Each structure stands twice: as structure tokens, then as C-alpha cells.
Amino acid sequence: MTIMEKAPRIIVALDFPSAEPAFELVAALDPTLCRLKVGKEMFTRFGPSFVETLVTKGFDVFLDLKFHDIPNTVAAACAAAADLGVWMINLHASGGRRMMEGARDRLERLPQRPLLVAVTILTSLEQEDIAEAGFTGTPVANVVRLARLAERSGMDGIVCSPLEAADVRAAVSPGFLLVTPGVRPGQAALNDQRRIMTPSDALNSGADYLVIGRPITAAPDPLQSLQDILTEIRAD
């Protein structure tokens, strides 16, 4: 387990409706420069073999399926995900301590396990949304509370907005990993993201890994776009 081993820090989100453009993009990328994220859409369409193919090509894969179920079911799903040889998996912190501890305990039985991170409050949720769902307090207060619970429950880190990273970083141990989507390089289109930060600002706020999709995947030259982001990070 190389939890302190951070480079490469960019995780490219593969969100394509078919496998061909994903493989075309992956052929242009380099596992020493980035990791890959497979989410619910591609996993549901193309399944475990798609993930295994990416692993075989030498990439670290973050399997972003955000498990949330009874502890036994989540633990079994985490073990199944680990069998695919992925680097990182995730679940919802709001599934509670027993669910998180059960998943962690199951993974710790393996000779080599993926990192296990917890989603706190989805960045798509605003104050009114979380209030309607029965949470009291601000989104960031809930993110910090769930981050602490995730750390106490043995998680390796959390997923949060880069705008919440500094508050979380101040509340958790230094080695606890922060994975942040909602990152946009200086010149990139916002797409449907609203609460964003540049890669350098996200890292300076305490993020360890940056999930970046369309600024790379939809660029005319994805490798160049990735290299520009890496240059921006190094120059900071």
C-alpha cells in the first residue's frame, strides 16, 4: 500500500456513451501522467471487462460506483471491485460507521487492497436540497462532520468539492486523502460545473488527487491538455 505515493495526481474521468472513444483517448494517454476514473455509466454499459482492460493497459483505475447499502452488501461489493485490480473505490459516508468499517475490514483481508474513499455530500446538492433531505447545517459543516466520521471509520480519504478542501484538511489527519472533482484549468469551459477551482488552487487547498473530465476528454488534443495542466501544477 503506497498511500503517500501521490503522483500522478490527475485522475481523468472517462464519461463516454460508448467504449471506442474511451479506448481512443486512453491510447493517447500515459499511465505515468494520469490515472483513470470509471463511473456508473460506463461500468453499467461495459462492465468489469472494460475496467480490467484499462488495468491491463497499466493504468491505476478509480472505480467510482459510490456504494451505499447495508454493510454486508457493501463489503461484498467492495471485495468484488477489488478483484478487478482497481486502485481506488468509493462508498457514501452517509451509509454510516458500520457500513464503512465492514467494507474496510473486508478489504484488509486481501493481500493487496484498493484505496477506499467516502463521498461526503454530493457537490450537486445545495443548502435547500440537504435541508429537504433532513440534514441540518450548511453543506460544508456536513462535509466536515462526515469526513471526520469517515476517518474514524478507517477510510483512506474522502471525495469533496475543492471549495470544501481547506475546511476538511484542517479537520483531518495529514495523510487522509482528499479527492476533488469540479476542477477547471484557467481557460477551460465550465460545462455544467459551477463551484469550481483551478488545479493549482485545489492542490493548494489540500487536495491530493484531482478528478478532471471534459477539459481533457473533450479537448482536440487530450494529451496536450493533460500536459498543460501538469505544467500549470508544477509552475505553481
Q: Which sequence positions are flagged as catalytic? A: 66
**C-beta of 75: minimal distance to ligand C5P in Å?**
23
**C-beta of 23: minimal distance to ligand C5P in Å?**
17
Residues in the chain: 236
Comparing every residue's Cβ against ligand C5P, the nearest one is: 213
Kindly state the number of chain residues that form the binding site for ligand C5P, as judged by CB under 6 A.
13
3-state SS record for the chain:
CCCCCCCCCEEEEECCCCHHHHHHHHHHCCCCCCEEEECHHHHHHHHHHHHHHHHHCCCCEEEEEEECCCHHHHHHHHHHHHHCCCCEEEEEHHHCHHHHHHHHHHHHCCCCCCEEEEECCCCCCCHHHHHHCCCCCCHHHHHHHHHHHHHHCCCCEEECCHHHHHHHHHHCCCCCEEEECCECCCCCCCCCCCCCECHHHHHHCCCCEEEECHHHHCCCCHHHHHHHHHHHHHHC
* Contact flag: residue 123 with ligand C5P (CB under 6 A): yes
C-alpha cell at 28: 493517447
Taking CB under 6 A as the criterion, the residue among 212, 225, 226, 228 binding ligand C5P is 212
Which of these ranges, 55-63, 88-96, 106-114, 206-214, lies near ligand C5P under the rule CB under 6 A? 206-214
* Contact flag: residue 185 with ligand C5P (CB under 6 A): no
Q: Which is nearer to ligand C5P, 102 or 130 (CB)?
A: 130
Taking CB under 6 A as the criterion, the residue among 71, 181, 185, 222 binding ligand C5P is 181
* Contact flag: residue 13 with ligand C5P (CB under 6 A): yes
Give the chain's end-to-end CA distance (angstroms, integer). Answer: 29
Please say whether the beta carbons of 76 and 103 come within 8 A: no
**C-beta of 15: minimal distance to ligand C5P in Å?**
5
Which of these ranges, 20-28, 93-101, 162-170, 208-216, lies near ligand C5P under the rule CB under 6 A? 208-216
**C-beta of 161: minimal distance to ligand C5P in Å?**
7
Q: Which is nearer to ligand C5P, 72 or 127 (CB)?
A: 127
* Contact flag: residue 193 with ligand C5P (CB under 6 A): yes
Interface contacts to ligand C5P, rule CB under 6 A: 13, 15, 39, 122-123, 181-182, 191, 193, 211-214
